[in-house]
Amino acid sequence: MSRLSLLIFVTLGCATPVAAEPQPLDVDPQADWVHEPTGLNFPARIRDLARDRIVSYLADENNIGATYFTADDSEILSVYVYRAASYDVSMMADAAMAAVSSNDRLGTIDTEGALFSTFGDEAIGKDSGVLASFPVDGPYRSTALALFRSGNWLIKLRLSSKQVDAQTLDKRLALLASGLPLTPPPYSAPPAYRLADCETAPARGQVARRDLSTTDWIIATTVISISYDESVQDQIGAKTGQRDTRRLCRDARSKPGRMFYREAERGEPSAIVFGDSGTVASVGTADITLDKKTPPPVILAIGNGMKTEFFQGFESIPGFDQMMQVLEKGRVTASVERTPEGSAITLPPPD
């Protein structure tokens, strides 16, 4: 079992994501710090909030977080910029909202009273970000979440207050999220939307597995490799512009830490989001195949924005139960890992 698969296996039994031990960055506490890949500025102070520290969860600034506190600890702001296996803001925000609902350190979070809205200018994408605010009964009065995309990065903010209600906090976080200083991304993201619960879908039996040819594996891994190459991806995005994402719905078996998503129109399984730190398993038909005699293979992969692992293919879209079985016990067949130079591909032995 690979390192990523082991991480996912551990996550399967958890309601919260498994994260690497954070490493504090050596930053002058009185100075601003800029995340070079995105240009996102982490100032020493944001109004009455003072930065506590900046930590790195992955090497080369691929997962950065900072926490801010007021002098009396009545408000806490956390800012994260990180890689992810999916940059579908609507889906990733839905999973993050579920994770927020399970955080009992703040008190009892009123998910029914949540305020939901979208935000975003023309640079990041009109209405491409998601903002959700919740009333809280406990030590805190309210908590709020904002998530948006900047190129191949997700930027997430969490703001919690012991003093103000959800409506007031919602307005404050909206101003913070829309005013973050960062380098305009090379292309804008599509509009976000609020996911709904799926209609009841018929149970899916076990579907047949399929051995992919070496050519199919080369194509599948190359697609991910290109997405890991920042310069190539930026050129493609700048030329093609924003692309609408497929509409998804939330499967009834979802729970915080393990969220299941289907295509809203066809009801087919599409993805499983583990935690809210960017780890996603996705399933779908290969976009490209050179074999014109047979239908394209269905591929299951899991990744976290730094590494993607592929499993033996399927003849058709499997159900979530079969996907979970493969993720827990299946053998990784191929992989793509992000490197400073681009990516490294590992393929199965030739046919």
In the chain the domains, ranked by start, together with CATH numbers, are: 21-178 (3.40.1000), 209-346 (no CATH)
- Mean pLDDT for all residues in the chain: 89
The answer to whether 313 and 180 have CB atoms below 8 angstroms apart is no
Nearest to 116 by CA among 167, 78, 63: 167
Q: 133 is written with which tokens? A: 């605010």
Judge whether residue 231 has pLDDT over 90: no
Judge whether residue 10 has pLDDT over 50: no
Rounded alpha-carbon distances, angstroms, from residue 116 to 93, 155, 166, 171: 11, 17, 11, 11
Question: Each residue of 78-97: pLDDT tens digit?
Answer: 999 999 999 999 999 999 99
Among 12-26, 147-161, 274-288, top mean pLDDT goes to 147-161
The answer to whether 272 and 323 have CB atoms below 8 angstroms apart is yes
Per-residue pLDDT at 341: 84
If you write DSSP's letter for every residue of 140-195 in order, what string do you get? -SEEEEEEEE-SS-EEEEEEEESSS-HHHHHHHHHHHHHT---PPPSSPPPPP---
Three-class DSSP category at 123:
coil
Judge whether residue 60 has pLDDT over 70: yes
Per-residue pLDDT at 97: 97
Residues 154-173, mean pLDDT to the nearest whole number = 98
Please compute, for residue 295, the number of CA atoms within 13 A of its CA located in the half-sphere on the CB side.
Answer: 11
Residues 345-349, mean pLDDT to the nearest whole number = 89
Judge whether residue 8 has pLDDT over 80: no
Three-class DSSP category at 350:
coil
* Sequence-ordered list of residues with C-beta below 8 angstroms from that of 105, at least 6 positions apart, any chain: none
Q: Could you say which DSSP state residue 59 is in?
A: G
**DSSP-assigned beta bridge partners for residue 108:** 137
The answer to whether 177 and 189 have CB atoms below 8 angstroms apart is no
Per-residue pLDDT at 232: 63
Which run of H or of E encompasses 219?
helix 214-228
